């Protein structure tokens, strides 16, 4: 009886202690979700911003925080918008609001939706088109018309009378796309609207994609079908034909189309188009290998001329809307890493480079705004683990740091940078949202997540501790470690390593976050993450050293990290596992196979198993073409090392993954079976690369359970 009482007492103590901890259900239910201030948009005067509150778009004053006006309230239009709206855009004169409803996703960024126009002057709400289902709508500069894409053609509607004009007529699924990107541009160049209004509203420049030669991939869809239904789309794998892309200009008054000469080469990329403030058309051009980038300007309808040219023996970092920023007076900013780090430069279209705005052994990570003679940017100056806001004059002088705390900042500026809102966190501080004036002075706090901080303390949630170690090649690598709240250095703990490791990525960052691996920590595991060679914010050479041999050095560094960790007195060297998703899944497989004597367990989610299976733009920029670099594609494919498996392995994939196809997992499974190796596999029917619509939480619960059972 005495022993029974003691057991009950101990059980009560454990239960009481456990109640102060947490499990995945707490994360799933949102108890550890950071609050934020989202959907905030600066208005034209730079003194006000709009934000969505309970189905209404409300105007606030930056300076005072006063709630000044309701711009639109969906409650008064429930008959037209029974489910409200998901997005909104104001016209340049802010008279009209473009509202999005009934959104239906296609791929990562693309979707169709129904759109409505609210006229603030008349108080009327009208549907953009009777049919709905538009893509990428955009106001004309004067707000009187809206251009959009439907069924791969470019259209325009005049808002005063609702007249609909079809600007192109050859759009056809899986063949011709006008004004919208194809799959691989959307995924890798990160944009979908492939048309731009001229500043005077008289012309629309747009890209035309001819997908005729691009090979097709078919995904089988199972939900609610007696027989699986095929979904076929154009997907250019490494080395396969891409779309042929042309640049056209439409005169919206006459409907006349003219083709812009983008050069004799058709196997190239046009990853951005736009207009300068003076109304001249420009476009980016890069070759298929992506080691030669050009900016071309079309002046007064003349033949395009190159005004900026950049080359690299390996690759030019993937270009985006921040690569070039046009200013007034034939000047433009360029963000490049020709110095060995990512920095900002001022150019003139005729005279070339004028000034170097930033310099040093650190990287500019984001160009935030240009206002007057000052440029505002975020960089990792001081520490690769942190991000702060700086400003500098266009001549490279008078640099100022505008944020003070040590951690990670992101910035939402007002027009003209009269004010800015900062979003800050570090390993100890969840999202802190504040309003600043242009000098950086804090005017007020918008969200401090005080309740979340209290809950984190109550539940004794451990935080990241940073460390560094040197690999076998003399490279110093950054990492973080999360130890159990009741950590005892005299004991030995199992370790789960988490990583992504892809080119230019960064996981080791002084930023607050929580996910399923934090549950492992409170269950007595140490979680470790290391950014190896190839990752970002360590300079161009550190990042580009993996070129042409994807997976080799990255795997060496994760194995080296595991070996280093195993030497720590409080680590159980026989119980080290590794996890990764997408590129990280590719890495987890390579580590459990090439590091079979180091890792006891691995979890690979949506892994690439051969770069021959992945898309052209991403793969070829980092690995060259398979026709030129067969060894770089095959020597690091985990498929070829299946016979080395010793530990426990779980592979997870969604059959609806349009990005990393489930083919990757099936080919890996086939290789393991042929090698006589036992492994575990979880297939999520119809889920995409992010394991939605159904598996988002189920997969994390499964990974926790698998780790507890096998590591």
Task: Tell me which DSSP letter residue 594 carries.
Answer: H
- To the query of whether residue 490 is one of the catalytic residues in this protein, the response is no
Tell me, yes or no, if 48 is annotated catalytic. no
Distance from chain centroid for Cα 437? 29
Active site residue 254: no
Q: Which helix (H) or strand (E) holds 217?
A: strand 216-221
Say which of 50, 140, 198, 582 is annotated catalytic. Answer: 582
Report how far residue 634's alpha carbon sits from residue 667's, in angstroms, rounded to the nearest whole number: 14
Say how far apart CA 477 and CA 55 lie, in whole Å: 47
Question: Exposure pattern of 231-269 as b/e (b: 16+ CB <10 Å)?
Answer: eebbbbbbbeebbebbbbbbebeeeebeebebeeeeebb
Q: Which of 48, 180, 343, 689 is catalytic?
A: 689
3-state secondary structure of 73: strand
| Token pair for 100 | 């999005």
247 close to 260: Cβ distance less than 8 angstroms: yes
Task: Sort 216 into a burial class: Cβ within 10 Å, 0-12 / 13-18 / 19+.
Answer: exposed
Q: Is residue 259 a contact partner of residue 252, using CB atoms and an 8 Å limit? A: no
Phi/psi at 476 (5° precision): -85, 125
Cβ contacts of residue 46 below 8 Å, gap of 6+? 62, 414, 415, 416, 417, 418, 419
DSSP 281-329: EEEEEEETTS-EEEEEEE-TT---EEEEEEE-SS-PPPP-TTTEEE-SS
Alpha-carbon distance values, 594 to 556, 557, 636 (Å) = 9, 12, 10
Q: Which of 518, 557, 615, 657 is catalytic?
A: 657
Instruction: Report how far Cα 413 is from the mean position of its chain's Cα atoms.
Output: 20
Q: How far apart are CA 509 and CA 496, in angstroms?
A: 18
Residue entry with tokens 């699986």: 228
Q: What is the dihedral of CA 691, 697, 703, 704, to 10 degrees?
A: 170
- Strand 216-221 and strand 203-210: pairing? unpaired
**Residues assigned a catalytic role:** 582, 657, 689
């Amino acid at each position: 009886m005495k022993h029974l009482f003691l057991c009950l007492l101990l059980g009560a103590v454990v239960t009481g202690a456990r109640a102060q901890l947490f499990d995945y259900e707490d994360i799933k239910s949102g108890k550890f979700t950071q609050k934020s201030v989202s959907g905030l948009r600066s208005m034209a005067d730079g003194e006000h911003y709009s934000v969505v509150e309970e189905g209404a778009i409300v105007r606030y004053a930056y300076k005072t925080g006063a709630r000044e006006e309701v711009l639109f309230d969906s409650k008064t239009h429930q008959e037209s918008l029974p489910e409200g709206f998901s997005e909104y855009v104001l016209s340049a004169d802010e008279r009209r609001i473009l509202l999005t409803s009934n959104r239906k996703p296609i791929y990562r960024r693309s979707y169709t939706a129904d759109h409505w126009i609210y006229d603030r002057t008349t108080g009327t709400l009208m549907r953009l088109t009777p049919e709905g289902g538009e893509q990428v709508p955009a106001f004309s500069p004067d707000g009187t018309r809206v251009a959009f894409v439907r069924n791969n053609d470019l259209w325009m509607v005049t808002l005063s009378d609702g007249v609909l004009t079809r600007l192109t007529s050859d759009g056809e699924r899986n063949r011709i796309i006008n004004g919208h990107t194809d799959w691989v541009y959307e995924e890798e160049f990160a944009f979908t609207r492939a048309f731009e209004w001229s500043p005077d509203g008289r012309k629309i420049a747009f890209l035309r994609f001819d997908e005729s030669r691009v090979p097709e991939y078919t995904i089988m869809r199972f939900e609610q079908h007696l027989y699986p239904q095929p979904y076929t789309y154009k997907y250019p794998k490494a080395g396969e034909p891409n779309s042929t892309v042309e640049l056209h200009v439409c005169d919206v008054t006459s409907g006349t189309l003219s083709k812009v000469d983008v050069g004799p080469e058709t196997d190239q990329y046009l990853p951005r188009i736009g207009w300068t403030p003076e109304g001249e058309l420009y476009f980016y051009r890069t070759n298929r290998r992506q080691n030669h980038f050009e900016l071309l300007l079309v002046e007064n309808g003349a033949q395009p001329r190159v005004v900026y040219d950049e080359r690299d023996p390996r690759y030019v970092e993937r270009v985006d809307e921040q690569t070039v920023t046009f200013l007034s007076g034939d000047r433009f900013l360029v963000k490049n890493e020709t110095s060995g780090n990512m920095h900002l430069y001022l150019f003139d279209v005729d005279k070339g480079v004028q000034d170097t705005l930033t310099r040093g052994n650190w990287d500019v990570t984001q160009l935030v705004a240009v206002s007057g003679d000052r440029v505002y940017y975020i960089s990792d100056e001081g520490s690769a683990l942190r991000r702060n806001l700086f400003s500098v004059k266009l001549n490279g002088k008078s640099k100022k740091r505008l944020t003070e705390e040590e951690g990670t900042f992101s910035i939402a500026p007002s027009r003209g940078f009269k004010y800015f809102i900062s979003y800050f966190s570090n390993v100890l501080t969840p999202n802190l949202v504040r309003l600043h004036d242009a000098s950086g002075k804090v005017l007020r706090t918008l969200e401090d997540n005080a309740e979340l901080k209290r809950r984190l303390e109550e539940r004794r949630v451990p935080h990241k501790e940073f460390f560094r170690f040197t690999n076998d090649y003399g490279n110093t690598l950054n990492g973080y470690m999360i130890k159990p709240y009741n950590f005892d250095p005299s004991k030995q703990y199992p370790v789960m390593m988490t990583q992504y490791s892809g080119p230019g990525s960064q996981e080791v960052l002084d930023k607050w976050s929580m996910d399923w691996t934090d549950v492992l920590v409170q269950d007595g595991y140490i979680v470790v993450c290391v950014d190896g060679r190839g990752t970002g914010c360590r300079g161009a050479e550190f990042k580009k050293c993996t070129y042409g041999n994807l997976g080799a050095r990255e795997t060496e560094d994760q194995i080296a990290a595991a070996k280093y960790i195993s030497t720590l007195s409080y680590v159980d060297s026989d119980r080290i596992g590794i996890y990764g998703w997408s590129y990280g899944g590719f890495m987890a497989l390579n580590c459990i196979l090439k590091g079979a004597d180091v890792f006891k367990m691995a979890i690979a989610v949506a892994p690439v198993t051969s770069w021959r299976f992945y898309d052209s733009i991403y793969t070829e920029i980092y690995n060259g073409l398979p026709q030129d670099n067969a060894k770089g594609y095959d020597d690091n494919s985990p498929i070829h090392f299946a016979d080395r498996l010793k530990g426990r392995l779980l592979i997870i994939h969604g059959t609806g993954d349009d990005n990393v196809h489930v083919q990757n997992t099936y080919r890996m499974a086939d290789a393991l079976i042929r090698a006589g190796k036992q492994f575990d596999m979880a297939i999520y029917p119809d889920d995409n690369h992010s394991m939605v619509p159904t598996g988002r939480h189920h997969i994390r619960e499964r990974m926790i359970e698998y780790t507890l059972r096998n590591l």
